[in-house]
Amino acid sequence: THTITAQGDPAGVNWGPKADMKSTYFDGSGDYFTIPSHADLNFGTGHYTIEFWINTHQSGAWIWYNADGDTGIRLAIGVNGSNSSSGGQIDLNEQVSNSDQHFTSRARIDDGKWHHVAFCRDGTTRRLFVDGKIEARDTTTNRNLASGDAGHIGRKEGRHLG
């Protein structure tokens, strides 16, 4: 069991991608969740899957961040949460000692519709799926994502999902 602390006023809402699902609404003005550092969030060099549903009009925002110490996962809409040329695309950055290795979708998810996203790393193979379709696949050097940092859902350093 992990304690998740709400910051701001993220609101639970009675709508989601499926009729029996609920979601959280982030209004973009200081709403996020914090999860204390825990071994479950320390992926190291192991296999991992990060999976979630998202519905947004944002072309640049932070979804997940646990790299305050420059090692960990940085997950955003747009590379580094920006609406630059990759705006609206899902980007996962495996950051080790402030060295970035981005993995970005081709599809945009900023259309106000529900999208299912999954990132999988199995050994040195990484895959990115959006709505069940493979968007990207590559090989990596099996980076050590040993982060002792807390996790943040919906923010990074004052920039919020909304």
Provide mean pLDDT across the span 138-161. 83
Q: How far apart are CA 73 and CA 79, in angstroms?
A: 13
The pLDDT value recorded for residue 50 is 95
- 0.75 surpassed by pTM: yes
**E-strand stretches of 100-157:** 102-108, 114-122, 125-130, 133-139, 151-153, 155-156
Enter the tokens of residue 15: 């709508």
Judged against a pLDDT cut of 90, whether residue 141 lies above it is answered with no
pLDDT band at residue 125, thresholds of 50, 70 and 90? Answer: very high
